[in-house]
Amino acid sequence: MQTRQNTQSFWIYLWIGVYIFIQCTWGILQTFAGFMLFIRYFNLPHSFYHGSIRTKWNRYDGVSLGWFIFTPNESDPVLLNRRNKEQFKQNCDKLAVHEYGHTYQSLILGPFYLLTVGLVSFTWARLPRYRNIRKKYGVPYSFCWTEQWANYLGEKVLKQPSLK
């Protein structure tokens, strides 16, 4: 039993090394942008998250840039203001799964990630036109193909639910 566990650990660590290598070569453009954002928020909590570097920032949204993901800090008192603490923590965990899915899009698309997934995701999240459509018609955030794909990848790899 111990040998089997050691073998599984070996393959997990090997994959993490390959994951980091690909993010720092094929995905260097978005990883460099993520590193700049990481430096900007260096004073905030960071952790390793299945091979990526997760920063918990004081915003409600999430961002994924290559090897780096940024998600809300479920312990931030300002973010917790008027929110159900347990529900907010669950949503932060689900958002991390979603953002991790974007890191796999980066692995697949490499230098094309920013022009495809990055641009589409940014406009879908930020433009008032799309915000109004989502609000008016009750369209889920995952309706956009890039977001749906990120949910699928994150859930498939981590075997955990993502934020719909």
Give the pLDDT of the chain (164 residues) as one tens digit per residue: 567 777 888 999 999 999 999 999 999 999 999 999 999 999 999 999 999 999 999 999 999 999 999 999 998 888 888 678 888 889 999 999 999 999 999 999 999 999 999 999 999 999 999 999 999 999 999 999 999 999 999 999 999 999 87
Strands (E) located in 63-140? 63-65, 68-72
| E strand or H helix that includes residue 57 | strand 52-57
* Distance, CA of 55 to CA of 89 (rounded, Å): 15
Predicted pLDDT of residue 86: 86
**Exposure string for 60-83, b = 16+ CB within 10 A, e = fewer:** eebbbbbbbbbbbbbebeebeeee
- Return the number of other C-beta atoms located less than 10 Å from residue 135's C-beta: 9
* Distance, CA of 138 to CA of 160 (rounded, Å): 24
Predicted pLDDT of residue 94: 96
pTM of the model: 0.93
